[in-house]
């Protein structure tokens, strides 16, 4: 398994290790998985090609990194102002989303599986305060996928960098801001040493759905019971990662605030409104980019509309009452 993450990086890298260990253990050692971090076998952003070509049999990453190869893949990574982790899992497992994802990857000889959720992320680290939309203009920010397109329309300049390069890029001024994941991961990278202001909410990634991708020919060569073990292990990894982030984000946030005096700030309403308007336009254009994209767009947003009605009188109402 080749991954886009540093070896054993909390949450993301350890999520890949968890998946590998589950497969190895559940199969009684009949199927063993060795994990390579970013740059150990291939660079972070060459995972997709490595698994597609058979250089590796399995990969672990995020679908929005492959927008240049399959623009439709971005629906399955993170949609700005889109569905959260619970909604995303419901759509993938019970709303037809996974079948559409498999259709996107089929021409590349790949089988995708959800293999981790981060939950709602933080909005990112900034070296200046964001008081209005004018502060976004000219801002150079590391932000991948659809969110990068949204930032660009708001006047910013998106950059896509592997996680291991973020601290240096932010510290040296190569970028003015970066999003990564949330307190748990951001503390581990020491990003508080490179930027003073930490913004929320993570409009760009209401969850990041991490993926396990398997070379289809390698998967098809496995007996049925081992195929089931791979798929079930990915489901276990998907839930395990979400629980890990929920358990550790608050601890890390407290450390950032109390020990490192990080300034936690909310995006101004006009900035969020601007981002949301651009996000709707970006998603509409992606939905019109191909016949397959159109079907995914309709499926995704139809499902999101229905779950929103339920969330209004369940999760949202309960959290307000609590």
- 2-117+206-248 CATH choice from 3.40.50.620, 1.10.645.10, 2.70.98.40, 3.40.190.170: 3.40.190.170
Give this prediction's pTM: 0.95
Residue-wise pLDDT tens digits, 290-311: 999 999 999 999 999 999 999 9
Query: DSSP H helical segments within the chain, as ranges?
Result: 12-26, 47-53, 85-94, 97-105, 145-153, 166-172, 183-188, 216-220, 224-258, 269-287, 291-313, 315-321
Residue-wise pLDDT tens digits, 195-226: 999 999 999 999 999 999 999 999 999 999 99
pLDDT for position 190: 97
Residue 248: which pLDDT band, with cuts at 50, 70 and 90? Answer: very high
Structure tokens at 312: 């209004």
Residue 145: partners with Cβ closer than 8 Å, 6 or more residues away:
64, 65, 67, 74, 77, 78, 204
Going from the C-alpha of 46 to that of each of 34, 37, 193, 244, the distances in angstroms are 17, 12, 29, 27
CA-CA distance, 137 to 273, in Å (whole number)? 15
């Amino acid at each position: 398994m080749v991954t886009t993450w540093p070896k054993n990086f909390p949450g993301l890298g350890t999520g890949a290790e968890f998946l590998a260990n589950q497969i190895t253990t559940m199969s009684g050692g009949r199927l063993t998985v060795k994990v390579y971090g970013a740059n150990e076998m291939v660079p972070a952003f060459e995972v997709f090609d490595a698994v597609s070509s058979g250089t590796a049999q399995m990969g672990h990453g995020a679908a929005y990194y492959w927008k240049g190869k399959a623009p439709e893949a971005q629906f399955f990574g993170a949609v700005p102002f889109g569905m959260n982790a619970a909604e995303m899992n419901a759509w993938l497992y019970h709303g037809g989303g996974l079948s559409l994802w498999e259709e996107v990857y089929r021409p590349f000889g790949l089988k995708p599986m959800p293999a981790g959720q981060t939950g709602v992320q933080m909005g990112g680290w900034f070296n200046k305060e964001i008081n209005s939309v004018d502060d976004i203009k000219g801002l150079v920010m590391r932000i991948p996928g659809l969110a990068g397109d949204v930032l660009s329309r708001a006047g910013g300049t998106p950059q896509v960098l592997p996680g291991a390069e973020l601290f240096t890029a932010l510290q040296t001024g190569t970028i003015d801001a970066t999003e990564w994941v949330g307190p748990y991961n951001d503390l581990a990278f020491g990003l508080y040493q490179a930027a003073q202001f930490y913004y929320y909410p993570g409009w760009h990634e209401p969850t990041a759905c991490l993926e396990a991708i398997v070379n289809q020919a390698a998967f098809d060569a496995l007996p049925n019971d081992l195929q089931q073990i791979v798929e079930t292990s990915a489901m276990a990894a998907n839930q395990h990662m979400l629980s890990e982030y929920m358990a550790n984000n608050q601890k890390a946030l407290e450390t950032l605030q109390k020990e490192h005096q990080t300034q936690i700030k909310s995006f101004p309403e006009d900035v969020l409104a601007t981002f949301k308007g651009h996000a709707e336009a970006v998603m509409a254009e992606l939905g019109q980019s191909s016949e397959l994209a159109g079907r995914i767009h309709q499926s995704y947003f139809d499902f999101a509309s229905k779950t929103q009605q339920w969330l209004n009188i369940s999760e949202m109402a309960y959290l307000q009452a609590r």
